[in-house]
A = this chain, B = another copy of it.
């Protein structure tokens, strides 16, 4: 089928009428489907049920060096959990802090510390007017909400196929009030883009005017490959060490989408200086995180290598879902010139760009017919997609039958929104 923009108004109108009839049919079915959250489906969670009872009276509750995980102490994590994350981040165990169940919480707390106390001896951001942060977009809405909460001005940076537009990043970073950048460097949320080696090297070499510039490096999907072999990511910390900029790098991860979203283990890693800052705060902030849960993870996975292998089981469950989404998009929207989408090799999302000005209307139509999507715009700072074109699709949670229905309807709604836009604008 040729691109819709070359069609006559009459043909478009008749196509619209046809689609609206199909849409009404869906509406009458009284659907109630949710495609809004990037969360694992129950079958994925079943994979780690053995984790839940591997710390008990019979098998004991002590770390390898005899520490009772039930009691107070070891506020920044048990050694064997640090070891696993040391493998993950490829830094020394002394540079790892193991947290509670939420890496987002570790990120919030880090920004909160920079805001209220300052990092590495620099004045707190709360004492400086006009502090800014770079937000490669589309990106992760929960990142943007953190900087928004602290009243930090967010600057949208474009995403390219290799990661954030480094020309823009370099230009903005010359301003000492620009304090950092949010990054999901592998299988980015929502685009599924993995930063190229060149991008990582440019980030490591970045001339940032702010002495407390920080690269919030959220490795949420580092192990979440859909294809074999998975994408690889250059180690930003190593590259930064070579440039003497390692104090800028703060890495985050969690097992939320490896074990349980509600009860996983989060961790962060950074330079010895930055970790010392964080540890000073942590020793005041908490009595320590849940060490029994750390021990459960250590026992269940055994090693970082096993954790990596375990992810193949997740991939096997969700790969068909990604395929279903992509096949449906292909079948219904390919070649029409109204939509583009990525084919992610990992991660949790498929990102669709429609004609400008058509994302909100598509999501509205879906909602009216009973399908909940991530709000259009959510992937941009302040929830404001300047071109109103990006929609994030989260294929993992719904059963494949629901996914099929939702995606068929998605394509109908997207085409309706785009044709209406074309009719109203072109003639």
A13 at the interface (CB under 8 A from B): no
Please tell me if the beta carbons of B69 and A42 are within 8 angstroms of each other in the complex. no
Q: Which residues of B contact A150 (CB under 8 A)?
A: 116-117
CA distance A55 to B100 in the complex (A): 19
CA distance A40 to B104 in the complex (A): 31
* Chain B residue with the shortest CB-CB distance to A52: B56
A142 at the interface (CB under 8 A from B): yes
A15 at the interface (CB under 8 A from B): no
* Chain B residue with the shortest CB-CB distance to A261: B72
In chain A, positions 213-252 with a C-beta closer than 8 Å to chain B are none
Q: Which residues of B contact A289 (CB under 8 A)?
A: 100-102
How many monomers of this protein are in the complex? 2
Number of interface residues of A (CB under 8 A): 56
Q: Which residues of B contact A50 (CB under 8 A)?
A: 57
Instruction: Tell me how far the C-beta of A398 lies from the nearest C-beta in chain B, rounded to whole angstroms.
Output: 13
Binary CB contact string for chain A from 25 to 45 against chain B (1 if under 8 A, 0 otherwise): 000000000000101101001
Binary CB contact string for chain A from 101 to 133 against chain B (1 if under 8 A, 0 otherwise): 110110011001001110000001011000000
CA distance A247 to B98 in the complex (A): 35
Instruction: Tell me how far the C-beta of A41 lies from the nearest C-beta in chain B, rounded to whole angstroms.
Output: 9
Please tell me if the beta carbons of A286 and B39 are within 8 angstroms of each other in the complex. no
A281 at the interface (CB under 8 A from B): yes
Please tell me if the beta carbons of B108 and A285 are within 8 angstroms of each other in the complex. yes
* Chain B residue with the shortest CB-CB distance to A259: B70
